[in-house]
Amino acid sequence: MTEEEFEQEVRFYQQAIRDTIAHVDLRLYWSEAAPELSARFNILLHNDLFHGRLLCIRLLSDGQRDVRLGAIKLIGSYDKKGDSVLSLALIQLACRQKDLREEALYAVWHVRTRYVLPQLLSFADKGYSSALYMIRPLLQTPEEIQRAILIAHKYIDASDYELREAALFLLQRYSTMEQEAERVLAAVQRYTDELFIDALKKAPLERVLEPLKALRATFPERSAEYGDLSSTIKVLEQRNHEGDEYKEGGGMS
């Protein structure tokens, strides 16, 4: 691609993005909302990665907010994961522009690499649920995992559901219910989220069984909360029963 051809491509995408933003639902992925434009964008990146990346960087630094937003949306439609250049470009935009931060972080999900893990940890620590979701498959070292666990502890009972859900998922992967039972129970007592109630099926029953029974007593029997709590209580009681049988039988036969 010559320099003149590249500049023509930039102008095409600037106009195409403005036209697209004028008539699509911005909540949708552009692979659905603007399939033809997304397909063209993907073909460019597959066939000419250098100029494709250069195009993204130009669009992400465009003077018009709509063009920058459209570039984020297009990168979010890219069908190849693990691009360090694009993930770093999005992270740099997220650091600079708070008004596009959430959109940029969601787009990072599609091109994320460990290269941007430090920045994602920082955004997770600031309470961005998308970053907290994203770090989960990227963690490797004990230091990274410990920092992520501390962040999850900070948000396990956050008022925002997505944030506390992201914290729960991380703890389920990198910690144990033996260590996290009290924190998850406190979140259950505050919000009665089904996922959190279900997670307590693996908790030490002596710590959670009676508090769960007490919580269940505050709900009508036909309520969803009563049913969710009853399901977990049943599992815990079954574990307790099996433990008693084990002791009476002198261990495994």
pLDDT of residue 243: 59
Would you say 59 and 16 are in contact if contact means Cβ atoms under 8 Å apart? no
The answer, yes or no, to whether residue 247 has pLDDT greater than 50, is no
Mean pLDDT of 181-193: 97
Distance CA 74, CA 31 (A): 8
pLDDT class for 222, splitting at 50, 70, 90? very high
pLDDT in tens, 48-91: 999 999 999 999 999 999 999 999 999 998 988 888 999 999 99
pLDDT of residue 154: 97
pLDDT in tens, 105-151: 999 988 888 999 999 999 999 999 999 999 999 999 999 999 999 99
How many CB atoms neighbour CB 175 within 10 A? 16
Mean pLDDT of 32-55: 93
pLDDT of residue 134: 93
pLDDT of residue 17: 95
CA atoms within 13 A on the CB side of 39: 5
Distance CA 19, CA 42 (A): 19
How many CB atoms neighbour CB 79 within 10 A? 12
pLDDT of residue 249: 45
Which burial class, exposed, middle or buried, applies to 206 when counting CB atoms under 10 A from its CB (0-12, 13-18, 19+)? exposed
